[in-house]
A and B are shown apart, each in its own frame.
Chain A
Amino acid sequence: MHKCLKCGKKFERITREMLNGCPECGGRLFLYIREGEGGEMDATATELVDRIKIEERGDMSPDERIESLRILGTGIYELNLGALMEKKELIMGIKQDGSYVIHLPSLFAKKRR
């Protein structure tokens, strides 16, 4: 079931016309409601937006991040493959609180080849 978030009209299935917007009001945002999730039917767009949990994220995009490895907790690691491949030094970010560890041996290491 799809519900137009602008006018609230419900549709059983997406039709070709709906790709250009709601046939009733032209709205472009639809909510998909799974079977048995009728509770969502009457939610308004604002309520839904409030419900979306945005993952905690850093200020920088992956390209701007300086760390090649981020340790988010014991046994949880985030690897920046681009930085690992392009830079020889290892910079580790600790959690997401702006602490960094620079691995000096990797900076001073001679290239193997």
Chain B
Amino acid sequence: MSAGKRMKGLLSRLIIALLFRKRMVKIGIYGPPNAGKTTLANRIIHTFVDENEDIGVSTEIPHETRRVTTRKGIFIDLKRITRDETNHGSSSRTDSNPAVAGGKRSRARVVFDVVDTPGLATKIDFRDFMAYGMEEDEAKRRAKEATEGVIEAIKWLDDIDGVILLMDSTEDPYTQTNVVIIGNMEARGIPIIIAANKIDLPDAAPHRIKNAFPQHRVVPVSALKGDNMEKLYEEMARVFR
């Protein structure tokens, strides 16, 4: 390798290091059980990393995710995603991308680690799992693991730079869990984006979430169908930089 090429390689590495030095942020996806946290994490990874890579399995049974899982080094490039979506003729875009439209390409890029967490709940009862056809022993084991998972998720908050608080927009948002999470994030000074998930369902009412927490940004999305996800990525790039 010539000295010139080596110099160029070093230079580009230095530029990348400088460019992203302060942008390696850990984003935690938090929320009550069955809000769609793993579906959202999988959606983000499918969009920005690999269509075949999953962070976890999502099912209709609550507390399916019982350990914190992390996918590191996800590079959000809104210019790229906007172009891809346009090429695929996606109809899910609801508005133009201001980060790109304004010509500020650097503003639309962010590198982060995504942390998928077990659902936060105030009560975990093995009998709830038996309703899904689980044997008693298995249900009790799941309840124990889910409880450990909640504690692990909360301990992780010490290492989190930003939170996507995911709520199910078909449910009443004014729950003890949501209020406690928001209050604690505010006290810690951790930036939050509230994602009102499941807007593809007929009884979704994301405005209820907006009304309940007017002091925070609320982005209605469907992690399952991919609706309005670009808006969420824009907010992430803006808020979590």
Contact = CB atoms under 8 A, between A and B. Distances in A.
Chains A and B belong together in one complex = yes
B122 A78 contact: yes
A76 B124 contact: yes
Given A79-B124, A82-B184, A69 B147 contact: yes
Main secondary structure of the interface of B (DSSP, over half): helix
Contacts of B5: none
Interface residues of B, number: 26
Report the interface size class on chain A. 10 to 19
B158 A76 contact: no
Main secondary structure of the interface of A (DSSP, over half): mixed
A81 B122 contact: yes
A56 interface: no
A85 B154 contact: yes
B120 interface: yes
A74 B158 contact: no
A75 B140 CA distance: 4
A77 B139 CA distance: 13
Nearest to B136: A75
A80 B154 CA distance: 11
Contact of B122 (A76, A79, A85, A113): A79
Interface of A: 62, 68-69, 74-82, 84-86, 90, 111-113
The 5 closest A-B pairs by CB, nearest first: A75-B126, A75-B140, A75-B143, A85-B184, A77-B147
